[in-house]
Amino acid sequence: MNIGKAVKTLRLKKGMTQQELADELNVSSQTISRWETSATYPDITLLPHLARCFHVSIDELLSDGEDKMMIKSQHLLVREWRERDAEALFELKQTSGEYFLAYADSHTAVGILELIKIWKSYQEMFAVVLEETGKLIGVVGLVDVGRYKAYRELEVHLCDEYYQDELLTELCSLILDYGFGTLDLQVIFALCAPSELVLQHVLENVGFLYEGTLRRFGRDGSDRQRYSMIQADYSAK
């Protein structure tokens, strides 16, 4: 644990000076400087106040203030979930259509928070954020479906406002690079409803092979179309 590094990282993310943070905590700027250089450490009684100041949990504060998983493209950032994302994700679900997180039937932000906690524990589903604004716009993941270690299902969920060919293509390309490059996966497959024409077009454009229709495979008894890509396909691109 390097709490000094966390304080500095989170302070800079929030755009605060050492003096501004010191004023929030009723300490001196020299105290903040000593924390950030690990010369001393914050008193344990200050941790809740620090966490509130940065709008993070104490666990996030003690994890160096950095996400273990963070990948970027031109317009998008994919990162770990934070508990404060629950309200934003709940709003996205309320304002998006039937295909956005269709399996998540939580009708409250508390229910969405419980889902986020599950995602955080499995480290398979991540937040999708606009790089320029920091706005949460969706969810993406590579989910272990229990076949073998290097075999994952791609899940892509962008809210209606940003559900467009260009961003979906950028997101799929980014997560494929992560899956095949960083995780060394052998197979990534994706399922979509027959009516999800934009997603089908994007999957084919980034190199997925259409395998066929799984009849009555959806949780609602509807058909699903299956696409897949193997490591050799990715390497040949």
Kindly report, residue by residue over 52-98, the tens digit of the pLDDT: 888 777 766 776 555 567 899 999 999 989 888 999 999 999 998 87
Is 43 a residue whose pLDDT tops 80?
yes
The pLDDT, as a whole number, for residue 13 is 78
Query: What type of residue is 133?
Result: T
pTM beyond 0.85, yes or no: no
Is 12 a residue whose pLDDT tops 90?
no
At residue 153, the 3 state secondary structure works out as strand
Q: What is the CB-side half-sphere exposure of residue 166 using CA atoms within 13 A?
A: 5
The pLDDT, as a whole number, for residue 59 is 67
As a whole number of angstroms, the distance between CA 88 and CA 152 comes to 27
Is 10 a residue whose pLDDT tops 60?
yes
At residue 76, the 3 state secondary structure works out as strand
Cα 92 to chain centroid distance, Å, stands at: 14
Task: Provide the pLDDT confidence category of residue 1 given band limits of 50, 70 and 90.
Answer: low
For residue 130, count CB atoms less than 10 angstroms from its CB and return exposed for 0-12, middle for 13-18, buried for 19 or more: middle
